[in-house]
């Protein structure tokens, strides 16, 4: 049967205006579909554009005019959306009805906008995996391919559940890394503010007092006074230079060469190297294992893993290993040739290949490196906290000593 596309304007039961494109055999069928969505049709006109084309064109125009940003979910929102969708589908709802339920909420947000678009795509007969490709900033290749594999195998609820489990573990791993950085950053920030405050507000007062007393200032105190004067006079200029350098470095890091250099440096700094690498190894095993469990073949799975690993050096090594794979099944040997992945991971992967249980081996590798990441984060926190406190204490104590030296000299002269 020939199906046409109809662009309609309607109202929700709450009176809100909606505008979209729907596919139907004729205008009457289009009206029935619109009413099935819970909308009251106001106008219906035949169009040559699909929902996907129409929404993409609107987003392009909005982007060019600079009035709107493309809708994007945060990781927490994506996890909540996936969990709710998984629960609704597992309860027996169709994808279209589940998305309609989620889209019925009144709040205006990126999550709601994306959900409504996905719902309208499903109503048109688009598969969920194809609809998700409308929002590549939100739904990664991993997410889309897991959904596509679930659709192909007829086990979409299981695929959605695996997606939720995967992203919950990703969020947990990210939380561990952030937790290791929060306290050191707080200590460093407070220490920096304290030192700057002393140099700008306290040291100049001591300089005036020493000048009035005619004290002879020792070398360390003179150097401290010089730094204080420089910060007082040119502090704003120095701040501007620091901001400009930071922006320049940040832009450089976003270039391919800069990103490669920055990520290579991360893998050479003690402690940081361990956190980055352990997190990457756990992510590799978790993502690869999840894809294999859902029926994605090895080479496409490796391509997806390559795209989702954040460290460029490790990501490129996965790509090189994928190119070395010849039989489409054995990957431990190609991975070992790059000297990036640890021998323990390679050995455990080889055992999985020999036993025919790659997914099980990858699950063991994930647990192994998740535990190792926990240990490294705790070690990092234990080591960095006292070092930073000592670092700040040395600076503040050095300033205090420099200010006390002239006082001690004056005291000695008075005793004479």
Whether residue 68 is contained in a domain is answered as no
Fill in the DSSP letter of residue 1.
-
Whether residue 350 is contained in a domain is answered as yes
Whether the pLDDT of residue 249 is over 90: the answer is yes
Q: What is the CATH number of the domain that holds 132?
A: 1.20.81.30
153 and 206 inside one domain: no
Mean pLDDT on 361-388: 85
Task: State the Cα–Cα distance between residues 254 and 268, nearest whole angstrom.
Answer: 19
For the entire predicted model, the pTM comes to 0.64
Mean pLDDT on 330-337: 85
Q: Which helix (H) or strand (E) holds 264?
A: helix 256-266
Task: State the Cα–Cα distance between residues 27 and 216, nearest whole angstrom.
Answer: 96
Whether residue 384 is contained in a domain is answered as yes
20 and 82 inside one domain: no
Q: 225 or 19: which carries more pLDDT confidence?
A: 225
Task: Report residue 52's pLDDT band, with 50, 70 and 90 as the boundaries.
Answer: very low
Say what the pLDDT of residue 47 is.
Answer: 67
82 and 22 inside one domain: no
Whether residue 69 is contained in a domain is answered as no
Whether residue 64 is contained in a domain is answered as no
Max intra-chain CA distance, the chain: 111
88 and 45 inside one domain: no
Say what the pLDDT of residue 148 is.
Answer: 84
Strands (E), 13-160: 17-24, 39-47
Per the CB < 8 A criterion, the answer to whether 403 and 206 are in contact is yes
Whether the pLDDT of residue 126 is over 50: the answer is yes
Q: Tens digit of pLDDT for each residue in 209-222? A: 877 777 678 888 88
Nearest CA among 9, 89, 85, 23 for reference residue 52: 23
Say what the pLDDT of residue 252 is.
Answer: 93
Whether the pLDDT of residue 387 is over 80: the answer is yes
Q: What is the CATH number of the domain that holds 27?
A: 3.10.20
Whether the pLDDT of residue 243 is over 70: the answer is yes
314 and 281 inside one domain: yes
To the nearest whole percent, how much of the chain has pLDDT over 70? 89
Q: Which domain holds residue 43?
A: 4-49
Q: Tens digit of pLDDT for each residue in 189-209? A: 888 888 888 888 888 888 888
Say what the pLDDT of residue 265 is.
Answer: 92
127 and 100 inside one domain: yes
Whether the pLDDT of residue 381 is over 80: the answer is no
Whether the pLDDT of residue 135 is over 80: the answer is yes
What would the DSSP string read from start to end of 139-185?
A: S-HHHHHHHHHHHHHT-HHHHHHHHHHHHHHHHHHHHHHHHHHHHHH
270 and 186 inside one domain: yes
323 and 394 inside one domain: yes
205 and 87 inside one domain: no
Side-chain half-sphere CA neighbours of 85 within 13 A: 27
121 and 198 inside one domain: no
259 and 373 inside one domain: yes
Per the CB < 8 A criterion, the answer to whether 396 and 198 are in contact is yes
How many structural domains compose the chain?
3
Report the mean per-residue pLDDT for the chain. Answer: 81
Q: Give the CA-trace dihedral at 162, 164, 166, 167, to 10 degrees.
A: 160
Identify any residues that bridge with 22 across adjacent strands, giving them in sequence order. Answer: 6
Mean pLDDT on 256-272: 88
Task: State the Cα–Cα distance between residues 130 and 119, nearest whole angstrom.
Answer: 12
Q: Tens digit of pLDDT for each residue in 342-351? A: 988 999 999 9
Q: 333 or 48: which carries more pLDDT confidence?
A: 333
Least confident window among 90-99, 173-182, 242-251, 292-301 = 173-182
Per the CB < 8 A criterion, the answer to whether 55 and 62 are in contact is no
Whether the pLDDT of residue 308 is over 50: the answer is yes
First to last CA, the chain: 111
Mean pLDDT on 168-178: 77
Whether the pLDDT of residue 328 is over 70: the answer is no
206 and 92 inside one domain: no
Per the CB < 8 A criterion, the answer to whether 139 and 158 are in contact is no
């Amino acid at each position: 049967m020939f199906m046409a596309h109809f662009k309609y304007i309607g109202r929700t039961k709450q009176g809100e205006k909606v505008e979209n494109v729907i596919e139907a055999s004729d205008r009457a069928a289009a009206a029935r579909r619109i009413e099935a969505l819970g909308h009251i049709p106001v106008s219906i006109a035949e169009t040559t554009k699909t929902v996907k084309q129409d929404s993409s064109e609107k987003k392009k125009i909005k982007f060019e005019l600079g009035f709107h940003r493309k809708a994007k979910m945060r990781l927490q929102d994506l996890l909540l959306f996936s969990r709710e969708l998984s629960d609704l589908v597992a309860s027996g709802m169709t994808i279209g009805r589940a998305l309609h339920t989620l889209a019925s909420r009144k709040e205006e947000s990126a999550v709601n906008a994306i959900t409504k678009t996905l719902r309208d795509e499903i109503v048109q007969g688009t598969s969920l995996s194809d609809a998700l490709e409308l929002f590549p900033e939100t739904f990664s290749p991993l997410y889309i391919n897991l959904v596509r594999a679930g659709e192909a195998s007829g086990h979409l609820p299981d695929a959605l559940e695996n997606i939720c489990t995967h992203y919950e573990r990703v969020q947990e791993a990210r939380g561990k890394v952030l937790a290791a950085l929060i306290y050191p950053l707080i200590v460093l920030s407070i220490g920096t503010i304290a030192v700057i405050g002393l140099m700008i507000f306290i040291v100049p007062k001591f300089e005036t007092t020493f000048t009035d007393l005619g004290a002879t200032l020792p070398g360390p105190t003179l150097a401290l006074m010089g730094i204080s004067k420089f910060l007082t006079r040119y502090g704003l200029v120095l701040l501007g230079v620091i901001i400009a350098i930071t922006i320049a470095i940040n832009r450089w890091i976003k270039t391919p060469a800069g990103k490669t250099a920055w990520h290579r440096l991360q893998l050479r700094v003690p402690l940081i190297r361990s956190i980055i690498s352990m997190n990457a190894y756990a992510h590799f095993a978790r993502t690869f294992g999840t894809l294999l469990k859902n029926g994605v073949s090895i080479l496409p799975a490796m391509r997806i893993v390559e795209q989702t690993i954040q460290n460029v050096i490790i990501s490129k090594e996965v790509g090189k290993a994928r190119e070395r794979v010849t039989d489409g099944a054995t990957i431990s040997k190609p991975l070992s040739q790059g000297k990036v992945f640890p021998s323990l991971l390679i050995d455990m992967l080889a055992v999985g290949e020999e036993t025919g249980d790659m997914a099980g081996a990858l699950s063991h590798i994930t647990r192994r490196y998740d535990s190792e990441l926990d240990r490294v984060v705790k070690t990092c926190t234990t080591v960095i906290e006292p070092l930073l406190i000592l670092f700040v204490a040395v600076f503040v104590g050095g300033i205090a000593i420099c200010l006390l030296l002239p006082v001690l000299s004056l005291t000695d002269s008075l005793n004479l």
